[in-house]
């Protein structure tokens, strides 16, 4: 065993495209005031999952503590020493961390927690509790949530310091910092990266120079970019619509934002293209604006059908899946109403509460045929023993979770929100009689998957996105 007390693990998946980033990460690990063992796990091409890489690193580590540093991040010289000092005399704690983020425990109450990259774990605990190697995303979140649910103790340093999180390239836990080494041809802005990542990752894989921001509009970046993409019709879009530059400007509109007053403060015709995820959302906005958006196009959100597969030997049962935020805007009350009125069916609800009153309603009056699950990062596994995917929202632009369920062979049960009938013909309900008719129809998992593969897979959607970007 080494006399060093801590190991710093870096998965190198970027040195082919961003060797400067990886070099900074490694140097920051090597230059700690407290001598550390530095473990680099090669993963160019991302042939191995994060869980596989982390588990391998834990096997190699020879120290008491292990921390995980992103290859696009870096830490201050005293970062590990500070964490170690904070935990040194608290032997019953398995994890010590800094940057605080809200997670939920088993009672659905918010607790101060963090993502794994900004904390240190006892190696013995990591060795006894390996990471989920099957997940392609959300590995750290799942791990921490299970850790909390098991009643384990953790320490949180009560102030932000020292961990610079560069994944989104423009912020850190030490405050807003711009990491701009050189101008990028592609400048993306969004307050939520879930829908952007599949696009930016493809461009980066093609060797394109991409900058992704979650911190608002930046005139310097916009002035030097060739292509600017803004997700969501909000304040970022309003600023970009007024900004004069030579770049090709694209705005993508999802759904909820068009019902906000901010959406009316945007000059939509200042964009080269305005992408709507759903035609009914465009129709609504055009009515509010009082004119047609002749520069618009409708492109649904793409589905990664490689991640969703029909479970072997799948047969019909009475299990109904529901996944998402358990909130008013996702039809939480309708969900409970349906469970109470379909006692022969089992409702499996995976998600997180967003309103305390809804949490109180479900925790107090949970139907006997409904089971609550925490947020699922592997929906394909969650869907494996289910037959139906239920959507109870009063409004959607497209319904990504519905499509993901269909790709896994689940029959869609979709509340008849405006536009739903055009996207899911014959699968929408407005009353119990209509819903029962869909439930009673023959079960055809291959048919549901084919609809998604043929019309909504990323292989179909991305060429449309590429055409919008490049004109």
pLDDT tens-digit profile of 258-289? 999 889 999 999 999 999 999 999 999 999 99
The two three-digit tokens of residue 85, written as one number: 């000092």
The two three-digit tokens of residue 148, written as one number: 């909390």
10 close to 38: Cβ distance less than 8 angstroms: yes
Question: What pLDDT was estimated at residue 191?
Answer: 76
- Mean of the pLDDT values across residues 191-203? 85
What confidence tens digit (pLDDT) does each residue in 126-137 have? 999 999 998 877
**C-alpha–C-alpha distance, residues 326 and 349, integer Å:** 9
What confidence tens digit (pLDDT) does each residue in 143-166 have? 877 787 777 777 777 665 677 766
What confidence tens digit (pLDDT) does each residue in 452-462 have? 999 999 999 99
User: With helix as H, strand as E and coil as C, how does the chain read?
Assistant: CCCCCEEEEEEECCCCCCHHHHHHHHHHHHCCCCCEEEEEEECCCCCCCHHHHHHHHHHHCCCCEEEECCCCCEECCCHHHHHHHHHCCCCCCCEEECCCEEEECCCCCEEEECCHHHEEEEHHHHHHCCCCCCCCCCHHHHHHHHHHHCCCCEEECCCCCCEECCCCCCCECCECCCCCCCCCCEEEECCCCCCCHHHHHHHHHCCCCEEEECCCCCHHHHHHCCEEEEECCCHHHHHHHHCCCCCEEEEEECCHHHHCHHHHHCCHHHCCEEEECCHHHHHHHHHHHCCCCCCEEECCCCECCCCCCCCCCCCCCCEEEEEEEECHHHCHHHHHHHHHHCCCCEEEEEEEECCHHHHHHHHHHCCCCEEEECCCCCHHHHHCCCCEEEECCCCCCCCHHHHHHHHCCCEEEEECCCCHHHHCCCCEECCHHHHHHHHHCCCCHHHHHHHHHHHCEHHHHHHHHHHHHHC
Judge whether residue 43 has pLDDT over 60.
yes
Average pLDDT of the residues of the chain = 87
**pLDDT band (50, 70, 90) for residue 193:** confident
**Across 13-22, 212-221, 263-272, 435-444, least confident range:** 212-221
In Å, what is the CA distance from 68 to each residue of 116, 132, 155, 202, 377?
Answer: 7, 15, 16, 25, 20
Is the model's pTM score more than 0.75? no
What confidence tens digit (pLDDT) does each residue in 236-261 have? 899 999 999 999 999 999 998 999 98
131 close to 51: Cβ distance less than 8 angstroms: yes
Q: How many CB atoms lie within 10 A of CB 242?
A: 12
- HSE-up of residue 190 (Cα within 13 Å, Cβ side): 20
Length of the chain: 471
Judge whether residue 111 has pLDDT over 60.
no
Longest alpha-carbon distance in the chain: 72
Question: What pLDDT was estimated at residue 113?
Answer: 37
**C-alpha–C-alpha distance, residues 200 and 186, integer Å:** 9
Residue whose token pair is 């599949």: 198
φ and ψ of 233, to 5 deg? -90, 75
Question: What pLDDT was estimated at residue 49?
Answer: 92
Question: What pLDDT was estimated at residue 167?
Answer: 52
Judge whether residue 173 has pLDDT over 60.
no
What confidence tens digit (pLDDT) does each residue in 382-424 have? 999 999 999 999 999 989 999 999 999 999 999 999 999 999 9
What confidence tens digit (pLDDT) does each residue in 45-88 have? 889 999 999 999 999 999 999 999 888 888 888 888 988 887 77
What confidence tens digit (pLDDT) does each residue in 210-220 have? 888 776 788 88
- Mean of the pLDDT values across residues 83-105? 63
- HSE-up of residue 106 (Cα within 13 Å, Cβ side): 7
Neighbouring residues of 452: CB distance < 8 A, sequence distance ≥ 6: 303, 305, 308, 403, 406, 407
Judge whether residue 300 has pLDDT over 70.
yes
What confidence tens digit (pLDDT) does each residue in 334-364 have? 999 999 999 999 999 999 888 889 999 998 9
Question: What pLDDT was estimated at residue 387?
Answer: 98
Question: What pLDDT was estimated at residue 7?
Answer: 95
Question: What pLDDT was estimated at residue 217?
Answer: 83
Which of these, 141, 148, 1, 108, lies nearest to 65 by C-alpha position?
1
Q: How many CB atoms lie within 10 A of CB 297?
A: 14
Judge whether residue 97 has pLDDT over 80.
no
């Amino acid at each position: 065993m080494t006399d060093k007390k801590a190991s710093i693990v870096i998965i190198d998946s970027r040195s082919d495209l961003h060797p400067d980033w990886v070099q900074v990460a490694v140097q920051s690990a090597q230059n700690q005031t407290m001598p550390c063992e530095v473990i680099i796990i090669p993963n160019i091409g991302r042939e191995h999952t994060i869980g596989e890489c982390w588990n391998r690193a834990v096997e190699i580590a020879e120290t008491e503590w292990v921390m995980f540093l992103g290859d696009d991040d870096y830490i201050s010289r005293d970062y590990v020493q500070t964490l170690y000092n904070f935990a040194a005399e608290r032997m019953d704690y398995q994890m010590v961390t800094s940057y605080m983020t809200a997670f939920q425990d088993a009672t659905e109450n918010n607790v101060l927690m963090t993502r794994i990259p900004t904390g240190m774990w006892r190696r013995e605990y990591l060795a006894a509790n390996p990471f989920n190697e099957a997940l392609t995303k959300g590995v750290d979140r799942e791990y921490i949530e299970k850790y909390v649910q098991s009643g384990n103790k953790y320490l949180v340093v009560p102030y932000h310091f020292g961990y610079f999180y560069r994944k989104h390239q423009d912020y850190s836990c030490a405050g807003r910092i711009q990491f701009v080494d050189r101008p990028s041809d592609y400048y993306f802005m969004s307050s939520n990266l879930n829908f952007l990542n599949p696009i930016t990752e493809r461009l980066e894989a093609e060797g394109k120079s991409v900058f992704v921001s979650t911190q608002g509009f930046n005139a310097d970046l916009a002035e030097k970019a060739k292509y600017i993409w803004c997700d969501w019709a909000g304040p970022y879009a309003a600023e970009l619509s007024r900004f004069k530059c030579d770049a090709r400007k694209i705005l993508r509109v999802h759904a909820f934002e068009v019902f906000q007053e901010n959406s009316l403060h945007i000059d939509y015709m200042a964009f080269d293209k305005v992408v709507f995820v759903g035609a009914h959302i465009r129709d609504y906005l055009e009515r509010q604006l009082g004119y047609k958006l002749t520069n618009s196009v409708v492109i649904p959100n793409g589905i990664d059908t490689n991640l969703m597969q029909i479970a072997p030997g799948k047969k019909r049962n009475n299990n109904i899946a529901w996944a998402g935020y358990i909130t008013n805007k996702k039809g939480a009350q309708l969900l409970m109403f349906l469970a109470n009125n379909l006692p022969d069916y089992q409702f499996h609800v995976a998600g997180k509460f967003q309103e305390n009153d809804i949490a109180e309603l479900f925790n107090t009056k949970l139907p006997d045929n409904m089971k609550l699950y925490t947020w699922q990062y592997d929906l394909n596994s969650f869907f494996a023993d289910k037959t139906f995917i239920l959507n109870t929202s009063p409004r959607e632009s497209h319904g990504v979770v519905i499509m993901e369920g269909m790709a896994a062979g689940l029959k869609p049960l979709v509340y008849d929100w405006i536009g739903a009938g055009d996207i899911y013909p014959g699968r929408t309900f407005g009353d119990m009689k209509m819903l029962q008719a869909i439930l009673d129809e023959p079960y055809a998992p291959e048919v549901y998957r084919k609809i998604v593969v043929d019309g909504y897979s990323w292989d179909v959607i991305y060429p449309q996105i590429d055409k919008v970007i490049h004109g």
